[in-house]
Structure 1
Amino acid sequence: MESNKIAGILSIILGLIFIIFPIISTGLVSIMIGLSLVFLGIASLFSGFSAFNVVIGILAIIFGLLFIFNLDALSFLLGIQFYIIGIIIVLLGIAGLLSGDGASKILSIFIIILGIVPFILGALSLTTPLFAAILIGVALIVEGVSLYIAK
C-alpha cells in the first residue's frame, strides 16, 4: 500500500476520533502542543545564553504551560486564525472594490461577504471549543480522502 493511502486512512481515522470524542482529542492535542513548547523552551534556554534564546525560551515555556493547563487555548488559536483569515479576505475585497471596474466590483462585494464567514467560524471556535474539535476532525477527514484518492 502506498504511503499516501496509509496517510489518508490514518487521517480519516484521526478525523473520526476528533468528531466522536471532541473533548478528549482536543485536550490531548493541547497537552501535546504544550509539552512540545515546554521542551522547546527548555532547549532554547540551554542552547546558548543570548538574549534572543532566553526570550524565546521563556515565551515557549509560558505558552506551553498555557496549552497544558488551559485546554481552551487550542480553540482560542483556531478562532484567532479564522479572524486573521477573515480580515485578509475582507481587505482583498475592499482592494478589489477600490481598483476594479463593473464585473470585478460585484465579485469584490461577494469576496467581502465571504470574508464574513471566517469571522462567524472564529466566534464559534472561541465560544464553543467542541466546534473547534469538529472543524479539525472534518478537515482531517477531507485531507485523508484527498490523500487516499491522490495517485
Structure 2
Amino acid sequence: MESNQISGLLSIILGLIFIICPIFSTAFLSILIGLSLVFFGIALILSGFSAVNIIVGILAIIVGLVFVFNITALSFIFGLQFYIIGILMVLAGIVGLISDTQIGKLASVLIIVLGIISFALGGFSIDQPLFAAILIGVALIIQGVRLYLE
C-alpha cells in the first residue's frame, strides 16, 4: 500500500469516528483547537515583535489554554470556538497585511478568508454543537476517499 492509500484509510476511519462518536470528537476538537491556538499565538508573537502581534498572540494563547484545560465547560459552547478562531484569524490576517512581517500578503488574505469561513461555520454550529463534529467527519471521509483513489 502506498502512503496516500494509508493516509486515506486513516482519514476515513477518523471521519467515521467523528460521525459515530460526536461527543468524543467535540472534546478532541476542543483540545486540538486549543493547542492550535497556543502554537498560533506563540508563532504570531515570534514572527514580529510589534505591539499588535504580541496582543493578538497573547489572546490566542489564553483562549487556547482555556479550550485545552476546560473541555467540559466548553463542550456546550463548541460553536463559539469557531467565532473566536474566526475573529483571531481575521485579526492576524489584517496584522499581516498592514505590517512588514515575514508573512506574505497572499497568506494574510487567505488567513482572513479562512477566518470568515470559520465565523460562518460558527453560525451553523451554535444551534447544534455536534453539527461541527459530524461536518468534520464527512469532510474527513471525502478527503480519505480522494487520497485512497489517487
CA distance in 2, matches of 1:148, 1:139: 14
Q: Residue 123 and residue 44 in structure 1: after superposition, are their counterparts in 2 closer, same or farther (change >3 A)?
A: closer
Q: Which residue of 2 aligns with 1:15?
A: 15
CA distance in 2, matches of 1:73, 1:67: 11
Given the two structures, how large is their TM-score scaled by the length of structure 1? Answer: 0.59
How much identity, in percent, do the aligned residues show?
A: 62
- 5 Å-filtered alignment, 1:1-151, equals 1-42=1-42, 44-45=44-45, 49-68=49-68, 69=70, 70-72=74-76, 74-76=78-80, 77=82, 124-150=124-150
Q: How far does residue 43 in structure 1 lie from its aligned partner after superposition?
A: 5.8
CA distance in 2, matches of 1:58, 1:123: 25
Q: Residue 124 and residue 53 in structure 1: after superposition, are their counterparts in 2 closer, same or farther (change >3 A)?
A: closer
Q: Residue 146 and residue 53 in structure 1: after superposition, are their counterparts in 2 closer, same or farther (change >3 A)?
A: same
Extract unaligned runs of 5+ from structure 2. Answer: 87-119
Q: Which residue of 1 aligns with 2:104?
A: none
Q: Residue 2 and residue 122 in structure 1: after superposition, are their counterparts in 2 closer, same or farther (change >3 A)?
A: same
CA distance in 1, matches of 2:47, 2:123: 39
Larger of the two Rg values belongs to structure: 1
Q: Residue 72 and residue 38 in structure 1: after superposition, are their counterparts in 2 closer, same or farther (change >3 A)?
A: farther
Extract unaligned runs of 5+ from structure 1. Answer: 82-118
The Cα RMSD (Å) is: 3.0
CA distance in 2, matches of 1:16, 1:53: 38
| Higher mean C-alpha displacement, 9-18 vs 55-64 | 55-64
Q: Residue 136 and residue 47 in structure 1: after superposition, are their counterparts in 2 closer, same or farther (change >3 A)?
A: closer
Moved over 4 A (4+): 42-49, 121-124
AA aligned opposite 1:126: I
AA aligned opposite 1:63: V
CA distance in 2, matches of 1:3, 1:122: 33
SS in 2 for 1:71: helix
What's the CA shift string for 1:78-120, capped at 9, x where partnerless? 8x98xxxxxxxxxxxxxxxxxxxxxxxxxxxxxxxxxxxxx8x
Give the number of aligned pairs.
Answer: 111
CA distance in 2, matches of 1:74, 1:47: 29
